[in-house]
């Protein structure tokens, strides 16, 4: 987190404290009660537990027991447990009676189950008998809801399948905490399920296959299944429904009558249509005997698969790009090229971001600036448009805003966990945003392979391009015979240090080094010339002037400078940056070196600098390759793709 971000977070927290003094006092009292209850030693152990990590886009990791216990001391909501099943054996009945003694709850159950519980309990009103909960035949949720609202006003409900494992006391405390703390729009919470020795963390709607799929094992497990995630349907065992959700749901008695699986799937969907979210809290697990196949109901087909409006009154396709930033970046530049190109092709295009208008590139729209991602999501949900996430943190607001209106697209320019080598929580959170409900596109075959390994399938590959009217070979510019060009940027993925050390190792034989970017203090040397924020045209002149270019990134989603250099006829030395594999062919369009092999890179620089025939070969092949990546043709493909979603 940057200094500005930390300051912003502090100001936000101070503002919240000022607006909620009652909750601050309540929380402090909870801490005091927990310290007395647990004792000083255990209290400090709890306080040292890792807290949940909340990202700017709203994703949270698991709550600590300390967070749950502290909240629980100040909050407790009565429960109605809906016990589904025709019969219950004596052992399970005794477990339920014991549970009722420690959990503030009332049971609704089939007549035979209610009778057995009544016989084992001293509480004459432990259970309400209802034929609706036999688990056999038609399940009428609206009638049951009416009874609960009349007899147990303000009670939340939890559904329990008597054929599956009974939740314990800690389960109820945890799931209630999640229901009231994760997000203000969460009204239903489900656990993950353990079935046949495997964890299933909710159900995902696969838009391409038009079916619901359980989130189980994947080829590349980066911890994404441990991240709580929103789900459009779910199994009902252990399902928690808040009373305010129960009372707000717009349901009629004729909406749906079917099995309990079908009815609860419908209830969850109707809640989403009213912006009441269902969360699968993956860290909380329940063992189940069977895991039902979640069917796509006619309701889901109408809701999720029927064509949606994405045009304005003039018939223009509306496209809204959502950006995390508008500062200098190759990926952001690609988005701006899309925007300008689509505008020329008659699209209505907007940019929404938490940053304002860029000052480093001409963009032919006014950027709509928002305070945070939640504000973007709230505004975006009312738009009939194609809504495009361009960075992993923009994925959740785009998806949430596309549940009911418009079409959500995830434009993934690179496998973003690469940006967090030392943060396992962040890597897991990133991958959890790669959802099948969104239409996903990427820029290279390497990205596609990595994304397929974490569960995304059937992605469209639309490569990055360059502006051929700007980046091209200029015969009028004399090419130097002893000048090396590189991007002077300190971001760790760029690995400029490798380029620098190889260049310095050449000593007096080192060529003049031309750098460009926005960090002029990155290297001071008598043979270094740094161009600060040059225009695109000036960059093209640099490509045409240099003898060769060196790009030693550890990872790139694509690598624009590499293809731009080829388009300008500048011979390229580079590393395997993953995203450049489709066009950087060693010995044909570039010379490729091993990562951090300083001696090898120094030798290749010296060799290419002196070998004019090799320069000519790389130049010729690079120019031919670059023609395939001109923006004009690629933007045509982008436009056709978006129109196909309308």
**What domains are defined for the chain?**
74-305 (3.90.550.60), 318-465+635-645 (3.40.50.11090), 483-629 (3.40.50.2000)
Torsions phi, psi of 404, nearest 5?
-115, -20
Give the pLDDT band of residue 15 (cuts 50, 70, 90). Answer: low
Taking only the tens place, the pLDDT of each residue in 493-543 is: 999 999 999 999 999 999 999 999 999 999 999 999 999 999 999 999 999
- Identity of the highest mean pLDDT range in 13-22, 128-137, 192-201: 192-201
Quick check: 527 and 508 in contact, CB under 8 A? no
Q: Tell me the average pLDDT across 2-17.
A: 59
Mean pLDDT, rounded, of the chain: 92
Q: Report pLDDT for 137.
A: 79
* Contacts for 449 with CB less than 8 Å, ≥ 6 apart: none
Band (253; pLDDT cuts 50, 70, 90): confident
3-state secondary structure of 394: helix
Instruction: List CB contacts of 416: < 8 A, sequence separation 6 or more.
Output: 391, 392, 430
In this structure, the strands spanning 277-287 and 229-230 are antiparallel
- The Cα 316–Cα 339 span in angstroms is 14
Residue 166: name the closest of 142, 146, 191 by CA. 191
Q: Six-digit token pair at 551?
A: 């790009």
Q: Can you give the pLDDT at residue 641?
A: 97
Burial class (CB in 10 A: 0-12, 13-18, 19+), 552: buried
pLDDT of residue 307 exceeding 70: yes
For residue range 112-152, list pLDDT tens digits in order. 999 999 999 988 899 999 999 998 778 888 889 999 999 99
Three-state SS annotation for 239-270: CEECHHHHHHCCCCCCCCCECHHHHHHHHHHH
Cβ-contact 233, 271 below 8 angstroms? no
Is the Cβ–Cβ distance between 158 and 81 less than 8 Å?
A: yes
Percent of the chain with pLDDT over 90: 84
Please say if the pLDDT value at position 34 is more than 70. no
Q: Closest Cα to residue 251, out of 339, 145, 342? A: 145
Instruction: Indicate whether 544 pLDDT > 70.
Output: yes
The alpha carbon torsion through 130, 133, 137, 140 (nearest 10 deg) reads: 70
Let me know: does 118 contact 127? Beta carbons within 8 Å. yes
Q: How far apart are CA 472 and CA 377, in angstroms?
A: 40
Predicted pLDDT at 143: 87
* Residue 363 neighbours by CB under 8 Å, 6+ apart: 336, 339, 340, 351, 357
Q: How far is residue 404's CA from residue 421's CA, in Å, rounded to a whole number?
A: 35
| Phi/psi-derived region of residue 394, left when phi > 0, alpha when psi is between -120 and 50, beta in every other case | alpha
- Estimate to the nearest angstrom the gap between the alpha carbon of 326 and the chain centroid: 19
pLDDT at 10: 63
Tokens 């990133």 belong to 430
Q: Is the confidence at residue 200, as pLDDT, over 90?
A: yes
**Least confident interval from 25-29, 458-462, 490-494, 549-553:** 25-29
């Amino acid at each position: 987190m940057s200094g500005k971000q930390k300051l912003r977070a502090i100001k936000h927290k101070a503002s919240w404290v000022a607006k909620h003094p009652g909750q601050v006092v309540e929380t402090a009292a909870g801490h005091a009660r927990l310290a007395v209850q647990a004792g000083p030693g255990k209290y400090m152990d709890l306080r040292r537990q890792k807290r949940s990590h909340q990202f700017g886009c709203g994703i949270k990791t698991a709550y600590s027991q300390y967070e749950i216990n502290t909240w629980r001391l100040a909050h407790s909501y009565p429960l109605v447990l809906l016990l589904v099943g025709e019969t219950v054996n004596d052992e399970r009945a005794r477990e339920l009676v014991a549970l009722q003694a420690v959990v503030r709850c009332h049971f609704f159950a089939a007549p035979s189950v209610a009778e057995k519980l009544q016989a084992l309990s001293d509480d004459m009103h432990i259970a309400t008998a209802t034929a609706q909960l036999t688990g056999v035949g038609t399940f009428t949720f609206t009638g049951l809801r009416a009874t609960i609202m009349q007899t147990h006003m303000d009670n939340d409900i939890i559904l329990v399948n008597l054929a599956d494992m009974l939740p314990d006391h800690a389960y109820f405390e945890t799931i209630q905490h999640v229901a009231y703390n994760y997000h203000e729009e969460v009204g239903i919470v489900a656990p993950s399920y353990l079935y046949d020795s495997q964890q299933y963390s909710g159900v995902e709607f696969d838009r391409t296959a038009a079916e619901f799929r359980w989130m189980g094992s994947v080829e590349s497990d980066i911890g994404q299944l441990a991240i709580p995630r929103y789900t459009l349907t779910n199994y009902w065992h252990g399902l928690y429904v808040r009373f305010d959700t129960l009372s707000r749901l717009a349901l009629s008695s004729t909406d749906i009558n079917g099995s309990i699986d079908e009815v609860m799937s419908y209830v969850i969907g109707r809640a989403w249509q009213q912006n009441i979210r269902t969360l699968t809290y993956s860290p909380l697990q329940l063992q189940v005997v069977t895991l039902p196949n979640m069917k796509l109901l006619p309701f889901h087909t109408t809701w999720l698969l029927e064509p949606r409006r994405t045009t304005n009154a003039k018939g223009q396709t509306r496209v809204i790009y959502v950006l995390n930033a508008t500062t200098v970046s190759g990926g952001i530049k690609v988005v701006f090229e899309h925007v300008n190109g689509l505008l020329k092709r008659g699209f209505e295009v907007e940019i929404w971001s938490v940053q304002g208008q860029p000052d480093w590139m001409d963009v032919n729209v006014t950027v709509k600036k928002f305070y945070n991602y939640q504000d973007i999501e709230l505004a975006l949900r009312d738009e009939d448009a194609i809504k495009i996430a361009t960075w992993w943190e923009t994925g959740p607001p785009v998806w949430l805003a596309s549940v009911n209106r418009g079409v959500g697209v995830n434009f993934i320019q690179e496998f973003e966990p690469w940006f967090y080598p030392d943060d396992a929580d962040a890597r897991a959170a990133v991958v959890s945003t790669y959802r099948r409900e969104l239409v996903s596109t990427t820029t290279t075959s390497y990205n596609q392979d990595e994304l397929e390994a974490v569960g995304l399938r059937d992605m469209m590959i639309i490569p990055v391009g360059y502006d051929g009217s700007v980046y091209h070979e200029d015969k009028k510019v004399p090419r130097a015979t002893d000048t090396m060009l590189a991007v002077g940027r300190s971001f760790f993925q760029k690995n400029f240090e490798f380029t620098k050390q190889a260049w310095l190792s050449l000593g007096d034989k080192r060529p003049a080094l031309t750098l460009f970017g926005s960090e002029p203090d990155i290297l001071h040397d008598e043979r270094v010339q740094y161009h600060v924020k040059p225009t695109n045209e000036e960059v093209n002149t640099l490509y045409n002037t240099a003898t060769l270019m060196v790009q030693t990134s550890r990872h790139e989603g694509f690598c624009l400078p590499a293809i731009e250099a080829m388009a300008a006829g500048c011979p390229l030395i580079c590393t395997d940056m993953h995203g450049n594999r489709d066009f950087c062919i060693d010995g044909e369009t570039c010379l490729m070196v091993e990562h951090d092999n300083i001696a090898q890179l120094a030798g290749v620089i010296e060799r290419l600098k002196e070998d004019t025939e090799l320069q000519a070969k790389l130049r010729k092949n690079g120019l031919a390759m670059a023609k395939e990546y001109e923006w004009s043709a690629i933007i045509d493909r982008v436009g056709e793709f978006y129109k196909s979603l309308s």
